[in-house]
Amino acid sequence: MRILVVEDEPRIAADVRAALEAAGYLVEIARDGEEAWFRGDTEDYDLVVLDLGLPQIDGLAVLKRWRAAGRAMPVLVLTARGSWSERVEGIDAGADDYLPKPFRMEELVARVRAVIRRSAGHAGSVIEAGSLTLDLRQMRLTKDGVPVALSPLEYRLVAYLMHHKERVVPGPELLEHLYGDDDAHEVNALEAIVARLRKKLGPGAIETRRGFGYLIAAEDA
């Protein structure tokens, strides 16, 4: 899952990035409102963590621009602005959640998980698809109740497909959410990860729809 963190304070940005990467997410950083607006308008993210007090363009203005342009990615707002009226303004502008500063990283990660899973239509922190069960809090995948050891890339791929189960996910979309804006990786890298996962999960766990993409079905074939 791919997250954009928009924060101009380097220490906070580094701490948020470390916490989210430890939770299995691919994280990119934008330092000001202009860069944030451009990235959010041209790239696909599973969630944006957006500070409101940004240089160049205020975070609230960035959010309004995204929503006016039809950009629908979930947005979690971070801000030192603590009044209820400012929180209402942020939510009315299109924010999906609101976390005032200072905050605990554990709460941030929990809110990120919740917003992403709700945006994909999942109410709880456990996602099931046939014999596969993904526990988002523990970052653990089981098959028929038996834990499966996964590398970070394998976990991100499975988590993305599980969030979007029953939808055929195109290869380029998977690559983008595995590696972000690093264009050095090609389809062969994706096929290698899928091949490793099939050895661990069984050949039918991840379906290939030739010319379309990859699929984890809600029920075993």
Q: Which residue has the higher pLDDT, 123 or 8?
A: 8
* Confidence grade of residue 221 (pLDDT, cut at 50, 70, 90): low
3-state SS, residue 127:
strand
Query: For residue 85, what pLDDT is reported?
Result: 78
Strand partners of residue 18:
none
Q: Which residue has the higher pLDDT, 186 or 159?
A: 159
3-state SS, residue 69:
coil
- Distance in angstroms (rounded) separating the CA atoms of residues 8 and 52: 10
Specify whether the CB–CB gap between 41 and 69 falls below 8 A.
yes
Q: Which range, of 122-131, 136-145, 184-193, averages the lowest pLDDT?
A: 184-193
Which pair of structure tokens corresponds to residue 14?
Answer: 């580094």
Span 212-220, average pLDDT = 82
CATH topology assigned to domain 126-215 = Arc Repressor Mutant, subunit A (1.10.10)
**pLDDT of 183 strictly over 90:** no
Share of the chain above pLDDT 90, in %: 69
CATH 3.40.50.2300 is held by the domain 2-119 = yes
Match 């074939």 to its residue by tokens: 221
Specify whether the CB–CB gap between 163 and 215 falls below 8 A.
no
3-state SS, residue 182:
coil
Domain ranges within the chain, ordered by starting residue: 2-119, 126-215
Amino acid at 126: V
Q: Are strands 2-6 and 26-30 parallel, antiparallel or unpaired?
A: parallel
Q: Are strands 75-79 and 47-51 parallel, antiparallel or unpaired?
A: parallel
- Distance in angstroms (rounded) separating the CA atoms of residues 44 and 158: 18
Per-residue pLDDT of 128-168, as tens digits, reads 998 999 999 999 999 999 999 999 999 999 999 999 988 99
Domains 2-119 and 126-215 share a fold: no
Specify whether the CB–CB gap between 64 and 36 falls below 8 A.
no
Query: For residue 104, what pLDDT is reported?
Result: 94
Query: For residue 31, what pLDDT is reported?
Result: 95
Per-residue pLDDT of 48-86, as tens digits, reads 999 998 999 999 999 999 999 999 999 999 988 666 777
* Confidence grade of residue 14 (pLDDT, cut at 50, 70, 90): very high
- Distance in angstroms (rounded) separating the CA atoms of residues 35 and 57: 9
